[in-house]
Structure 1
Amino acid sequence: MSIPNSKPVRRRPTHPGEMLREDFLPDFGLTVTGLAEAAGVSRQSINELLRGRRALSPEMALRLGRLFGNAPEFWLNAQRAVDLWDAAQLLKVERASIKPLRVV
Structure 2
Amino acid sequence: MSPYGDIEVMMLIRTPQDIGALLRERRQKAGLDQAELARRVGVSRQWLVEVEHGKPRAEIGLVLRALNVLDIPLEVGTPRYATGVADTPGIDIDAIVDAARKPQ
Give the structure-2-normalised TM-score.
Answer: 0.48
Higher helix share: 1
